[in-house]
């Protein structure tokens, strides 16, 4: 940082939070959808479907820009992520469902989605707004699969340590709407998909499990699936699952991880730090990533260092609370114990990080001392996937509530001289 005085840890923590929020603002679903529609305004009436954790914000952006052109709108989002103002507009039908594990609301949302598409006026263009979380929030299953089996599959996937790309390939294999199959119910009407991307590479087939993007046709043989999952997939393949009608629905990414990283980078620079976005994209085991980042920072000069992406956590049978960001942060804190000149933030851009209300954590060289003073052992908490308990005790959790976006995770560290 420029200047002669070294900032306090309190000041650095505030600067990290400000840079994180600058990143969030750059990928706000309302703003990004509104900007796109202002530049590509439809000519006639538009019906809207919005699905995902950012669905409420994205639908609000469409409403603000389209005005009287906006017709019937279906919003499907995670419980507690709905903007109450939408419920007072008679054009909106709003539903909440389970995430990260589908629930009865997810199946109800799937039925409502099909009814909505079947009942659209002939002259309306369709605008589909998709963000992360859609895979869990809406589903239509083959007759052979019920809710219990779907939940068991998703519980296993979430604990498996598989990448989101692999997880969504499995989800597509047991769905009647994912992997492009939803196109059957759209027919020949004009349709456009706007995406807030929460996956590496911004692949429309992976975002929300690709409701209107053709699925990956490769077999799943290379994935380490247990026999009961393979049997479930084979059962679904025996049913004549409806496929895409061959229509090519254009997809546009309106917000991505790179946008958030660039904005956080600019903000850190405006605060006087020398920021660097680190490549390659963050991935792999969350705890190992935290240790690797801590090791790298100890050998780097002063400045702000930024990563983005999505790590994984393989859950034990009795997992605690806190997701991949909290696991990464606590693992980093263990390696940075006693280092008074490095502070690190790891948080999801959607405002959630596994079980619990936290988006992530903001740790420093005294995190272990603060948590241990409450009788907790950081190593044991990491083994039990219970980083959230330790980080709550140390006072290091970051809580934002729903953010209106979802472009995976941001990790930002500041090192001073």
Rounded Cα–Cα distance for residues 269 and 259 (Å): 15
Residues of the chain with CATH 3.40.1480.10: 9-25+257-415
| For residues 196-224, average pLDDT | 90
Q: How confident is the model at residue 276 (pLDDT cuts 50, 70, 90)?
A: very high
Rounded Cα–Cα distance for residues 394 and 217 (Å): 47
Of the CA atoms within 13 Å of residue 255, those in its CB half-sphere come to 31
409-415 and 397-398 beta bridge pairing: unpaired
- Residue (of 86, 109, 58) closest to 253 by Cα position: 58
Per residue in 18-51, pLDDT tens?
999 999 999 999 999 999 999 999 999 999 999 9
Rounded Cα–Cα distance for residues 374 and 356 (Å): 19
Q: Average pLDDT, whole number, for the chain?
A: 93
Rounded Cα–Cα distance for residues 183 and 195 (Å): 16
Collect all residues with Cβ–Cβ distance below 8 Å to 239 and sequence separation of at least 6: 142, 143, 144
Which is more confidently placed, 399 or 246? 399
Please say if the pLDDT value at position 329 is more than 90: yes
Per residue in 147-192, pLDDT tens?
999 999 999 999 898 989 999 999 999 999 999 999 999 988 899 9
Here the tokens at position 351 are: 């405002």
Q: How confident is the model at residue 281 (pLDDT cuts 50, 70, 90)?
A: confident
Task: Tell me the CA distances in angstroms from 350 to 215, 344, 346, 412, one per residue in order.
Answer: 25, 18, 12, 16
Residues of the chain with CATH 3.40.50.10180: 28-255
Please say if the pLDDT value at position 61 is more than 90: yes
Please say if the pLDDT value at position 401 is more than 80: yes
Q: Quote the pLDDT of residue 238.
A: 61
Q: How many residues does the chain have?
A: 417
Here the tokens at position 66 are: 């389209």
Please say if the pLDDT value at position 210 is more than 60: yes
| For residues 276-290, average pLDDT | 91
The domain made up of 9-25+257-415 has a fold known as glycerate kinase, domain 1 (3.40.1480)
Q: How confident is the model at residue 279 (pLDDT cuts 50, 70, 90)?
A: confident
Rounded Cα–Cα distance for residues 373 and 404 (Å): 36
Which is more confidently placed, 201 or 364? 364
Q: How confident is the model at residue 248 (pLDDT cuts 50, 70, 90)?
A: confident
Place of tokens 């026999």: 227
Q: How confident is the model at residue 242 (pLDDT cuts 50, 70, 90)?
A: very low
Q: Quote the pLDDT of residue 215.
A: 80
Collect all residues with Cβ–Cβ distance below 8 Å to 90 and sequence separation of at least 6: none
Q: Which CATH superfamily is domain 28-255 in?
A: Glycerate kinase, MOFRL-like N-terminal domain (3.40.50.10180)
Rounded Cα–Cα distance for residues 38 and 346 (Å): 33
Task: Tell me the CA distances in angstroms from 199 to 131, 206, 304, one per residue in order.
Answer: 10, 7, 24
Strands lying side by side in the sheet with 409-415: 275-277, 303-309, 409-415, 342-348, 360-363, 397-398
Q: Quote the pLDDT of residue 280.
A: 63
User: What is the CA angle 114-50-213, rounded to 5?
Assistant: 70
Please say if the pLDDT value at position 323 is more than 50: yes
* Secondary structure in 3-state letters for 168-224: HHHHHHCCCCCCCHHHHHCCCCCEEEEEECCCCCCCCCCHHHCCCCCCCCCCCCCCC
Strands lying side by side in the sheet with 191-196: 92-97, 70-78, 46-51, 125-131, 191-196, 251-255
Per residue in 83-98, pLDDT tens?
999 989 999 999 999 9
88-97, 232-241, 353-362, 396-405: range with lowest mean pLDDT: 232-241
Q: Quote the pLDDT of residue 246.
A: 43
Q: Residue 219 CA to chain centroid, in angstroms?
A: 26
Q: Which residues of 190-206 are buried (b: 16+ CB within 10 A; e: fewer)?
A: ebbbbbbbbbbebbbbb
């Amino acid at each position: 940082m420029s200047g002669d005085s070294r900032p306090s840890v309190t000041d650095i923590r505030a600067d990290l939070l400000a840079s994180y929020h600058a990143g969030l603002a750059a990928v706000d679903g309302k703003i990004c959808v509104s900007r796109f529609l202002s530049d590509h305004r439809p000519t006639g009436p538009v019906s809207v479907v919005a699905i995902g954790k950012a669905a409420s914000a994205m639908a609000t952006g469409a409403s603000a820009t389209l005005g009287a052109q906006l017709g019937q709108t279906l919003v499907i989002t995670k419980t507690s992520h709905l903007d109450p103002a939408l419920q007072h507009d008679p054009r909106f039908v709003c539903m909440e469902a389970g995430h990260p594990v589908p629930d009865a609301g997810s199946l109800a949302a799937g039925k409502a989605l099909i009814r909505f598409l079947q009942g659209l006026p002939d002259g309306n263009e369709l605008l589909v707004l998709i963000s992360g979380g859609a895979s869990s929030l809406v589903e239509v299953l083959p007759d052979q699969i019920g809710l219990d089996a779907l939940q068991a599959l998703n519980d296993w996937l979430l604990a498996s340590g598989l990448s989101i790309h692999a997880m969504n390939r499995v989800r597509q294999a047991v769905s009647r709407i994912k992997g492009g199959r939803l196109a059957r119910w759209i027919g020949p009407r004009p349709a456009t998909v706007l995406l807030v991307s929460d996956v590496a590479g911004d692949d429309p087939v992976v975002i929300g499990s690709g409701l209107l993007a053709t699925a990956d046709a490769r077999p799943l043989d290379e994935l380490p699936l247990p026999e009961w999952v393979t049997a479930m997939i084979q059962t679904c393949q025996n049913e004549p699952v409806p496929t895409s009608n061959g229509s090519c629905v254009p997809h546009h990414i309106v917000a991505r991880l790179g946008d958030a990283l660039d904005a956080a980078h600019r903000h850190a620079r405006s605060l006087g730090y020398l920021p660097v976005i680190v490549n390659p994209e963050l991935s792999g085991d969350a705890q190992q990533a935290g240790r690797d980042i801590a090791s790298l920072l100890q050998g780097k000069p002063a400045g702000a260092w930024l990563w983005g992406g999505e790590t994984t956590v393989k859950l034990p049978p009795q997992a605690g609370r806190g997701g991949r960001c909290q696991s990464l942060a606590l693992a980093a804190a263990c390696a940075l114990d006693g280092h008074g000149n490095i502070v690190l933030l790891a948080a999801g851009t959607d405002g959630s990080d596994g079980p619990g209300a936290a988006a992530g954590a903001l740790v420093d060289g005294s995190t272990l001392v603060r948590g241990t003073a409450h009788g907790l052992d950081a190593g044991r908490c990491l083994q039990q996937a219970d980083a959230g308990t330790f980080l709550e005790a140390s006072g290091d959790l970051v809580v934002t509530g729903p953010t209106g976006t979802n472009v995976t995770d941001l990790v930002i560290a500041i090192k001073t001289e």
